[in-house]
Amino acid sequence: MELLFELSSKGRRGYRLPTLDVEEVNLKDYLGSYYREELKFPEVSELDAVRHYTQLSKLNYAIDTTFVPLGSCSMKYNPRINEELSNLQGFKELHPMTPEEYSQGTLMLMYQLKELLKEIGGFHEVSLQPAAGAQGELLGLIMILAYHRDRGNTHKNRVLVPDTSHGTNPATASLCGFEVITVRSNSKGELDWEDFKGKLDDRVACLMITNPNTLGIFENNIRRVAQVLHERDALLYMDGANMNALVGMAQPGKWGVDVMHFNLHKTFSTPHGGGGPGGGAVGVSEKLEPYLPVPHVSFKDGKYYLDWNRPKSVGKVLAFYGHVGVILRALAYILSYGKNIDLVAKHAVLNARYLRKLLEGLFLDPYPEVPCMHEFVLSAQNLLRYDIKAMDVAKALLDMGFYAPTVYFPLTVREALMIEPTETESPQTLVSFARALRKIVQKAEKEPQELRDSPRTTPVRRIKEAEANRKPVFRASLA
- Tell me the pLDDT tens digit for each residue of 444-477: 999 999 999 999 988 888 887 788 878 887 765 4
- Tell me the pLDDT tens digit for each residue of 351-387: 999 999 999 999 999 999 999 999 999 999 999 999 9
- Tell me the pLDDT tens digit for each residue of 391-436: 999 999 999 999 999 999 999 999 999 999 999 999 999 999 999 9
Any idea which of 14-23, 182-191, 203-212 has the lowest mean pLDDT? 14-23
- pLDDT confidence tier of residue 174, bands split at 50, 70 and 90: very high
- Tell me the pLDDT tens digit for each residue of 104-156: 999 999 999 999 999 999 999 999 999 999 999 999 999 999 999 999 999 99
Any idea which of 63-67, 146-150, 336-340, 391-395 has the lowest mean pLDDT? 63-67
Note whether 111 and 303 are within 8 A (CB): no
Asked if the model's pLDDT at residue 479 lies above 50, the reply is: no
Give me the pLDDT at residue 163, please: 95
Architecture of the structural domain at 342-458: Alpha-Beta Complex (3.90)
Q: What percent of the chain has pLDDT over 90?
A: 80
Give me the pLDDT at residue 478, please: 46
Note whether 357 and 421 are within 8 A (CB): no
- Tell me the pLDDT tens digit for each residue of 80-93: 999 999 999 999 89
- pLDDT confidence tier of residue 261, bands split at 50, 70 and 90: very high
C-alpha separations of 321 from 85, 141, 173, 271, 455 in Å: 19, 20, 24, 19, 43
Asked if the model's pLDDT at residue 40 lies above 80, the reply is: yes
- pLDDT confidence tier of residue 273, bands split at 50, 70 and 90: low
- Average pLDDT on 312-341 reads 94
Average pLDDT, the chain: 93
Note whether 233 and 153 are within 8 A (CB): yes
Any idea where the domains of the chain sit in the sequence?
4-58, 94-339, 342-458
- Average pLDDT on 320-334 reads 92
Which CATH number is 94-339's, of 3.20.20.70, 3.30.70.890, 3.40.50.261, 3.40.640.10?
3.40.640.10
- pLDDT confidence tier of residue 62, bands split at 50, 70 and 90: confident
- pLDDT confidence tier of residue 276, bands split at 50, 70 and 90: low
Give me the pLDDT at residue 275, please: 59
